[in-house]
Amino acid sequence: MFIDEIKLINFRNYESLKVRLSPKLNIIAGENAQGKTNLLEAIFLCTFGRSHRTSRDEQLIKWDSPAAYAAVNVVSPFGKTLIEYKQRVKEPKTMHVNGTRLGRIGDLMGHIRSVMFSPETLDIVKGSPEDRRRFMDMAISQLYPAYFFKLSAYNKALKQKNALLRPDSGVIDTASMYVFNAQLAGRGAEVMRYRREFIKELDIHASKLQLQISKGRDFLRLSYAPSLGEAFDDETAFLDMLEKSLQDDIRRGFTGKGPHRDDIRIMLDDQDMRSFGSQGQQRTAALSMKLSEVPVIRAAHEDAPVLLLDDVFSELDGLRRRELLLAMKYCQCILTTTSLDGIGDLNLPDTRVFYVKSGMVEYL
């Protein structure tokens, strides 16, 4: 799939913008703080219904404006889809697909699939387990929208159960507790099965990419690290465990084990990448993990996602830039850069270059 056109009104530092993109490579050039990332943020927003850098939607509205609008037109083998975001000050945002307002954010998943690599992506290696869970959850949600709903149902049951663990009356309602435990076990086991499959697929591609980028030096291995250990996707074993650990959970005041505590193990030559990897190796691992979403999505849907690369070029040498773009040549790619130096030498076909200055875009 590819994005044909983006339209923004009073979105971040853009007052009014309409750009048509190349179905292949798009380079958004410009100095710092001109609006390059804001443009990618709009695409991310239309993919997932949230920004990749803030959870406060109102920050997306141009300062001193009453409302913001972003629209992305997507062309896929199934036809054209228009995704829109609308937001007014002090009101919740709304998302629309082909003119129909969505009741649930989950219904947005899969209409555009995009994979974004930005400086923050390093968190999937260096950050907390929560960062890695967010990475898995977003990736799997756009791959299989059903996962989004299963995970939401699990989280809802978890919240309800945790509330029961801290009753106002001081008395634990064991009958309701059993009902929530059964829900957690059923929904949680499904969530874990999706995650296990996803990480298995991701590992195959990420280890190859890491080898390629490190010129044969780094052996990267990813594995799913469920907090429940071995018996993780067996619903009965999970329910058993929840029942047995009830006293611990009551003492703690929350549910100690389950998919909400999962992690991804990232190993480099049998050592933990987080503790032993160099900065460069960690960056490459984050890039390999993220870029591997592309072939995983392509295999599942016979259609490649849109690749968004924010600021990756500054840290790659000419050869690696070319390799990266050639490896991804089957998808539409939108990348930002502060410098066009050397890009002409890459000799890339079907490229459109844009220059961004203070929220205005010129075609070069």
Ligand X SMILES: Nc1ncnc2c1ncn2[C@@H]1O[C@H](COP(=O)(O)OP(=O)(O)OP(=O)(O)O)[C@@H](O)[C@H]1O
> In this complex, which beta carbon is closest to ligand X, that of residue 61 or of residue 220?
61
Q: Which stretch binds ligand X (CB under 6 A): 59-67, 76-84, 236-244, 292-300?
A: 59-67
Using a 10 angstrom Cβ sphere, with 0-12 exposed, 13-18 middle and 19 or more buried, the burial of residue 236 is exposed
| Alpha-carbon gap, residue 123 to 121, rounded angstroms | 5
Kindly write down the DSSP assignment for every residue of 241-257, as one continuous string. HHHHTHHHHHHHTS--S
Contact residue for Mg ion among 22, 37, 87, 210 (CB under 5 A): 37
CB 282 within 8 A of CB 126: yes
Query: Counting contacts by CB under 5 A, is residue 51 touching Mg ion?
Result: no
Query: Counting contacts by CB under 5 A, is residue 38 touching Mg ion?
Result: no
Work out what residue 59 binds among ligand X, Mg ion, none; the CB cut-off runs from 5 to 8 Å by kind.
ligand X
Contact residue for ligand X among 56, 63, 175, 216 (CB under 6 A): 63
State in angstroms the smallest separation of the CB of 49 from ligand X: 18
Could you say which residues in the range 290-349 bind ligand X, by CB under 6 A? 311, 338
Bridge partners of 334, per DSSP, are 26, 308
The residue with tokens 């490459």 is: 284
Bridge partners of 18, per DSSP, are 7
Sheet holding 2-11, edge to edge: 14-20, 2-11, 67-76, 79-88, 94-97, 100-101
Could you say which residues in the range 10-29 bind ligand X, by CB under 6 A? 12-13
Query: Counting contacts by CB under 6 A, is residue 59 touching ligand X?
Result: yes
* E strand or H helix that includes residue 163: helix 145-164
> In this complex, which beta carbon is closest to ligand X, that of residue 60 or of residue 206?
60
Contact residue for ligand X among 25, 35, 138, 206 (CB under 6 A): 35
Could you say which residues in the range 36-55 bind ligand X, by CB under 6 A? 36-38
Write out the residues near ligand X by the rule CB under 6 A: 12-13, 30, 32-38, 59, 61-63, 311, 338
